Amino acid sequence: MAKRGAARFDRVIDTALALLAWLVALLVVGMVGWIVADLLRQGLPRLSWAFLVELPGDAGRSGGIRPILISTLLILGVCLAVSVPIGLATAVFLAEFQRGHRGFGPLVRYSLDTLAGVPSIVFGLFGNAFFSITLGLGFSILAGGLTLACMVLPLLIRSMEMALRAVPAEHRLATAALGLPQRVSLLYIVLPAAAPGLAVGLVLGIGRALAETAALLFTSGYVDRLPDSLLDSGRALSVHIFDLAMNVPGGGSQAAATALVLVALVLLINAFTSWAARRWLGSLHSTTF
Amino acid sequence: MLKPSTSFHRHADRPLLWTLRLLSAVAALIVALILLFVLREAWPALLQLGPAHFLRDPGWHPASGDGDADYGLLPMLAGTLLSSGGAVLLAAPLGLGSALFATSYGPPRLRGPHRQLLQLLGGIPSVVVGFWGLVVLTPLIRQWHPPGQSLLAGILCLTVMILPTSAMLSEQALRDVPAGSLQAAAALGLSRRATLEGVVLPVARGGLLSAVVLASGRALGETMAVLMVAGNVIQVPATLFDPVRTLTANIALELGYALELHRSVLFVGGLVLMGVVAVVMALAAGLRSSPGHG
């Protein structure tokens, strides 16, 4: 009797869990569908080649997003020019020289884990205080790019370190057995072998940088003119969406169109990452993001 | 016999190693630099006002001159904790449900697409979620119960932001259950529910809890999604339909024009935020390394 009761209890709980699981699966489909459908409905009518290449007019209510695209690319360029050399060097250092639990490596790792947990608005505070004011860069593309560089560094380093660790040890042993210096092994064996994984890390960093808004509000600023130099303020795509939605009455459809451009860019990048990760690295990267 | 790594070091070029070490030091120092600068900017307010002001000031009136300005941070802290807490309450069971779908309850051929959709959702920038919340979600809430821009809207947008994190990490925790334990449960003829309750959940508990805590860390630090939909009125909300302002939103709204002491207090807000997130992250690390997981 008790046994039959327990079996029925089993079935009830099992059904409830199955219901929850299916509900969540449907909810995820619904949420993605809802958000994307709304963006398409509002933004697609505005989207055209002209939208991408024209200057904005009337505080962004009309015209296109050319200066915003250019500023976004420049900010991204500054971010990568700084974060990739530092990130790659740190990843090589951690993966090739600091495999143990002692020494300088764990300290670097701990510091980077902490950095990864810092909220993006705090990067904005820091970038404003350090790059814009203390270093005198003002509200500029340079200040924004440097702030983003600090922000993407942990992600960049973690994925690049994983890529380097995925290179089989035999490769290194073979070059060591030939008596070649590690410089040679690194440049001609390890880095080329890890190149696809390093590219995945790079692309992940680009995606994170493109999506960021809060860290840019008070570093690269709001100005929607074409920038003359890296010391000019430049408005990123994400900041443009924010400004149109919050501060410009009647800017909604332009914001939706800009959001479509941004989402398309980020999704293309993510799709490329997971495709590349599956193609080159097995499932190593597809479980992390 | 030499271990392979030792033989590497013999051939390591000193200049190369020192270059790498130097650049790693730069990377490692960034977090210290951030703390230093946020502290330096917050210092005048900490010195002149002291913690009592931030806790006890009745409101937030930074513009009324240095003498009688009020800098109460409590309403903002409440906004941050309530919106994140609400989002975690929603995202934690949903994340577990998603993990169950992806590991046992969902049909195998649907698990891949489910995961891809989650990744897609996770790839949507927070400013876009905020925009969607502003033009779609808040009008719906307004119809139900004005004014629409509210704690509820903030909670829902935050849930959208952290659900992918919560789901992916929960799935990872369930996957980390050793295959041997599952086979033993199957050999005992345990039902799916009994396997979950007796084997999977106890083993994965640490991982699941740390998934929840990490997701709440993301929610606490989120700015745009909550800034654009929560209404940003400075008050401790009485109901879900009242507008609130979070610490992050407060910084984003006022840093542009804040001067002197006011600006300094915004950095204190940043410091408080870092503190809360640091506590949460330490909790997550503790849970991950707790017995019962790994």
- Asked whether the predicted pLDDT for residue B4 surpasses 50, the reply is no
Q: What is the mean pLDDT of residues A68-87?
A: 95
Beta-strand pair A56-57/B70-71: unpaired
Residues of A in contact with B258 (CB under 8 A): none
Distance in Å, alpha carbon of B167 to nearest chain A alpha carbon? 10
CATH classification of the domain holding A225: 1.10.3720.10
pLDDT tens for residues A37-75?
999 999 999 999 999 999 998 888 888 899 999 999 999
pLDDT tens for residues A132-143?
999 999 999 999
Cα–Cα dist A122/B35, whole Å: 9
Residues of B in contact with A168 (CB under 8 A): none
> Which segment of A61-75, A101-115, A152-166 scores lowest on mean pLDDT?
A101-115
> What is the total count of domains within chain A?
2
User: What interface predicted TM-score (ipTM) does this complex get?
Assistant: 0.89
- Measured between CB atoms, which of B9, B172, B267 is closest to A125? B267
Q: What's residue A281's pLDDT?
A: 59
Same domain? For A121 and A263 the reply is yes
Contact of B44 with chain A, judged by CB distance below 8 Å, is answered with no
User: Is A289 a domain residue?
Assistant: no
Same domain? For A124 and A196 the reply is yes
Contact of B39 with chain A, judged by CB distance below 8 Å, is answered with no
Residue contact A122–B270, C-beta within 8 A: yes
Cα–Cα dist A48/A260, whole Å: 11
> What is the total count of domains within chain B?
1
pLDDT above 70: percentage of residues in chain A: 94
User: Is A286 a domain residue?
Assistant: no
Question: Sign of the C-alpha dihedral, residues B26, B28, B32, B35?
Answer: positive
Residue contact B26–A129, C-beta within 8 A: no
Contact of B259 with chain A, judged by CB distance below 8 Å, is answered with no
Same domain? For A36 and A138 the reply is no
| Of A199-208, B24-33, B51-60, highest mean pLDDT | B24-33
Mutate to test the interface with A, among B127, B210, B246, B248 (most CBs of A within 10 A): B127
Q: What is the mean pLDDT of residues A214-219?
A: 94
User: Is A261 a domain residue?
Assistant: yes
* Segments forming the whole domain that contains residue A274: 49-281
Q: What's residue A60's pLDDT?
A: 87
Same domain? For A93 and A222 the reply is yes
Same domain? For A111 and A86 the reply is yes
Rg (CA), chain B: 24
- Asked whether the predicted pLDDT for residue A100 surpasses 70, the reply is no
User: Is B3 a domain residue?
Assistant: no
- The SS3 of residue A98 is coil
User: Is B10 a domain residue?
Assistant: no
Residue contact B228–A238, C-beta within 8 A: no
> Which segment of A38-47, A236-245, B44-53 scores lowest on mean pLDDT?
B44-53
Residue contact B194–A241, C-beta within 8 A: no
Contact of A140 with chain B, judged by CB distance below 8 Å, is answered with no
Residue contact B105–A129, C-beta within 8 A: no
* Higher-scoring residue by pLDDT: B90, B194: B90
Within 201-220 of B, beta carbons closer than 8 Å to A belong to: 217, 220
User: Is A31 a domain residue?
Assistant: yes
**For residue A124, what pLDDT band results from cuts at 50, 70 and 90?**
very high
- Measured between CB atoms, which of B17, B34, B100 is closest to A126? B34
* Segments forming the whole domain that contains residue B183: 74-256+276-288
Cα–Cα dist B222/B217, whole Å: 9
Distance of CA B8 to the CA centre of its chain: 40
**For residue A2, what pLDDT band results from cuts at 50, 70 and 90?**
low
Residue contact A289–B119, C-beta within 8 A: yes
Q: What's residue B11's pLDDT?
A: 47
Q: What is the mean pLDDT of residues A148-176?
A: 90
Within 154-183 of A, beta carbons closer than 8 Å to B belong to: 157, 169, 172-173, 176, 179-183
Distance in Å, alpha carbon of B65 to nearest chain A alpha carbon? 23
User: Is A196 a domain residue?
Assistant: yes
Same domain? For A114 and A21 the reply is no
**For residue B193, what pLDDT band results from cuts at 50, 70 and 90?**
confident
pLDDT tens for residues A242-277?
999 999 998 889 999 999 999 999 888 878 877 877
Same domain? For A33 and A92 the reply is no
Q: What's residue B281's pLDDT?
A: 85
Residue contact B128–A262, C-beta within 8 A: yes
DSSP B102: I
User: Is B33 a domain residue?
Assistant: no
pLDDT above 70: percentage of residues in chain B: 92
* Higher-scoring residue by pLDDT: A1, B28: B28
CATH classification of the domain holding B237: 1.10.3720.10
pLDDT tens for residues B85-121?
999 999 999 999 999 999 989 999 999 899 989 988 9
User: Is B128 a domain residue?
Assistant: yes
Q: What is the mean pLDDT of residues B4-29?
A: 75
- Across chain B, mean pLDDT equals 88
Q: What's residue B14's pLDDT?
A: 80
E strand or H helix that includes residue B156? helix B151-175
Contact of B123 with chain A, judged by CB distance below 8 Å, is answered with yes
**For residue B8, what pLDDT band results from cuts at 50, 70 and 90?**
very low
Residue contact B248–A87, C-beta within 8 A: no
- Measured between CB atoms, which of A25, A35, A183 is closest to B101? A25
Same domain? For A136 and A170 the reply is yes
Chain B residue closest in CA terms to A257: B128
- Across chain A, mean pLDDT equals 88
- Asked whether the predicted pLDDT for residue A285 surpasses 80, the reply is no
Mutate to test the interface with B, among A4, A93, A121, A155 (most CBs of B within 10 A): A121
User: Is B50 a domain residue?
Assistant: no
Strands (E), chain A: 56-57, 62-63
**For residue A174, what pLDDT band results from cuts at 50, 70 and 90?**
confident
- Asked whether the predicted pLDDT for residue B65 surpasses 90, the reply is no
- Asked whether the predicted pLDDT for residue B294 surpasses 50, the reply is no
**For residue A101, what pLDDT band results from cuts at 50, 70 and 90?**
low
- Asked whether the predicted pLDDT for residue B268 surpasses 90, the reply is yes
- The SS3 of residue A267 is helix
CA-nearest of A256, A230, A179 to B128 is A256
Same domain? For A64 and A41 the reply is no
- SS3 string, A35-82, reads HHHHHHHHHHHHCCHHHHHCCEEHHHCEECCHHHHHHHHHHHHHHHHH
Contact of B112 with chain A, judged by CB distance below 8 Å, is answered with no
User: Is B213 a domain residue?
Assistant: yes
Same domain? For A32 and A112 the reply is no
Residue contact B11–A274, C-beta within 8 A: no
User: Is A288 a domain residue?
Assistant: no
Q: Would you tell me how many other CB atoms lie within 10 Å of the CB of residue A247?
A: 11
Same domain? For A16 and A59 the reply is no
Distance in Å, alpha carbon of B59 to nearest chain A alpha carbon? 23
Same domain? For A12 and A145 the reply is no
Q: What's residue A81's pLDDT?
A: 96
